[in-house]
Structure 1
Amino acid sequence: MTEDTPLSLHERIAGQVRQLRAARGLSLDALASHCGVSRSMISLIERGESSPTAVVLERLACGLGVPLAALFDAAPATAADPVARLAAQPLWRDPASGYLRRNVSPAGTPVRIVEVEFPAGAEVAYETGARSPSVHQQIWVLEGRMQIRLGDTAHELATGDCLAHPLDRPIVYSNPTRRPARYAVVIVHEAAAPLGR
C-alpha cells in the first residue's frame, strides 16, 4: 500500500471533524468534554495543523458518534458512488505505532471495511468503551498473528481467524511477533442521533 500525502490526509480529517461537529451542534468545548480530547488539540486537528494518533482520532470519532473510518471520508456522506476505486481509498499511518490503514469501503455506507498492516511488535490501545449508538466489528486476520484484548479477555488470532464483537469496552491491538500482520476490520455502525450542545 502507498500512503496518501500527510497534507491531503490532514485536510481530509480536518474537514470531516469540522463538518461532523457542526452537524451535531457541538462547540469545541462541548466536543472536548464529550470525548476527552483537549479543545486546543481539536482546534489544531480542524485546521489540519496536527498529526493526531489513532488513539486521539478514535476518541474524537466516539465523541462524534461515528466510526473511526468516517474521519477519513473525502466529503460529507451523501449519495456517493457505490464503487470505491483502489486509487481513491485513503491510506493513513498512525504516527505512534506505525500501523497503516486503508479505508476500503465507499463513504457513507452502514458497513465499513478497513485493511490494516500492523508492524511487528506494535501495540495500539483504545480506551473508549460502550458506544451509543452501538458499533459491531469483525477482525479477520489475512496474514500473520495478532492479539486482541477486549477488556480483560485476550484473543490470539492466526491467519484466517476472525473475531466478532461489539465495541463496548477498551480494546488493545498488538502484534507479539517479529513479522508484520495484515487484517481486515468490518464495522457495522448504527445511525447516530444528533448530540446536543
Structure 2
Amino acid sequence: MKEITAAAPLQDINKRIATRVRALRTEQGMTLEALAARCEVSRSMLSLIERGESSPTAVVLEKVATGLGVMLATLFEDTAAAPSPISHGADRTSWRDPQSGYVRRNISPENFPSPLQIVAVTLPAGARVAYETAAREVTTHQQIWMRDGAIELTLGNVTYRLGPDDCLAMQLDQPTTFRNRTRKAAHYIVVIATDRSRTARK
C-alpha cells in the first residue's frame, strides 16, 4: 500500500484530485463560478484545488464532489489508469485528511464502470469528520462495516454506535458525522451504491 505522507506523494495526490475535478467540471460544461454556486465552495478555493495548489479537507472535497454529482471516492481516481475489473493492493494510494487526520483508500478498481465503490477508512483516536451535504441529486446508499475499534455515526439527528463487525446501512440524504471517542484508531469499510435511475428525495 502506498501511503500519503508529508513528503512528495502529498503533492502527487493533490495533482490527481486537481486533474479529476477539472475534468469532471469541464465534461459538464460548468464554469468555476457555476460549480462554486452549486457546492458552496468559493471560486478561489476551487481554482486552487484545480491547480493542485491546495490541500483541501475531506469536508471541502465532499462538497465539491456533490456539486459535480459524484461520490467523494471518485475524486481520488487516477484518470490516467486504464479501466480494469481488478485492483491490486500494491497499486492503491492512501489519502490523509489534513484537518482530522483520517485516512481513506479506494479499494475498487479505478475507472471501471460500476454503481458500487468500496473504500477503506482509518479514523484516528479522538477524530471527528462532519459532512454537511444533505440530499443528493442521485439516490445514494452507503453501508459501514466496522473491522476494528468503535465509532459514533450521526445521520441527521440520529446517532448510531458501531463496534467491531457491526454494519450500518443508510441512505445519504442528510448531514453525516463520524466520530471516534476512544483512544484507539477505528478501521472500517465503506460500500457506496448509486442508483442513477432514481432521483434522491429533496
Q: TM-score, normalised by structure 2?
A: 0.91
Name 1:151's counterpart in structure 2. Answer: 156
Give the Å deviation of 1:3: 1.5
| Distance in 2 of aligned mates of 1:63 and 1:73 | 17
| Distance in 2 of aligned mates of 1:57 and 1:175 | 21
Please give the per-residue CA displacement for 1:95-136, whole angstroms capped at 9, x wherever unaligned. Answer: 000001000001233200000011001000000001111111
Name 1:102's counterpart in structure 2. Answer: 105
Letter in 1 for 2:72: L
| Distance in 2 of aligned mates of 1:98 and 1:127 | 18
2:86 to 83, 86, 90: 83
Q: Name the CA shift for 1:66/1:177 in 2 (closer, same or farther; >3 Å).
A: same
Task: Confirm whether residue 179 of structure 1 aligns to residue 184 of structure 2.
Answer: yes
Q: Name the CA shift for 1:41/1:177 in 2 (closer, same or farther; >3 Å).
A: same
Letter in 1 for 2:51: R
* DSSP-derived class of the 2:138 partner: coil
Q: How many residues align?
A: 192
Q: TM-score, normalised by structure 1?
A: 0.93
Name 1:137's counterpart in structure 2. Answer: 142
Name 1:41's counterpart in structure 2. Answer: 45
- Is contact 2:149–2:163 with CA below 8 Å preserved after alignment? yes
Letter in 1 for 2:195: E
| Distance in 1 of aligned mates of 2:73 and 2:115 | 11
| Distance in 2 of aligned mates of 1:65 and 1:192 | 14
Please give the per-residue CA displacement for 1:41-97, whole angstroms capped at 9, x wherever unaligned. Answer: 0000000000000000000000000000000010079x7111111122221000000
| Distance in 2 of aligned mates of 1:43 and 1:150 | 31
Letter in 1 for 2:95: W
Task: Confirm whether residue 60 of structure 1 aligns to residue 64 of structure 2.
Answer: yes
Please give the per-residue CA displacement for 1:2-36, whole angstroms capped at 9, x wherever unaligned. Answer: 41310110111000000000111110000000000
1:123 to 103, 106, 128: 128
Give the Å deviation of 1:190: 2.9
Percentage of matched positions with identical amino acids: 52
**RMSD of equivalent CA atoms:** 1.7
| Distance in 1 of aligned mates of 2:14 and 2:68 | 18
Give the Å deviation of 1:163: 0.5
Gaps of 5+ in 1: none
| Distance in 1 of aligned mates of 2:177 and 2:146 | 15
Q: Name the CA shift for 1:51/1:29 in 2 (closer, same or farther; >3 Å).
A: same
| Distance in 2 of aligned mates of 1:117 and 1:55 | 16
Q: Name the CA shift for 1:192/1:33 in 2 (closer, same or farther; >3 Å).
A: farther
| Distance in 1 of aligned mates of 2:43 and 2:59 | 16
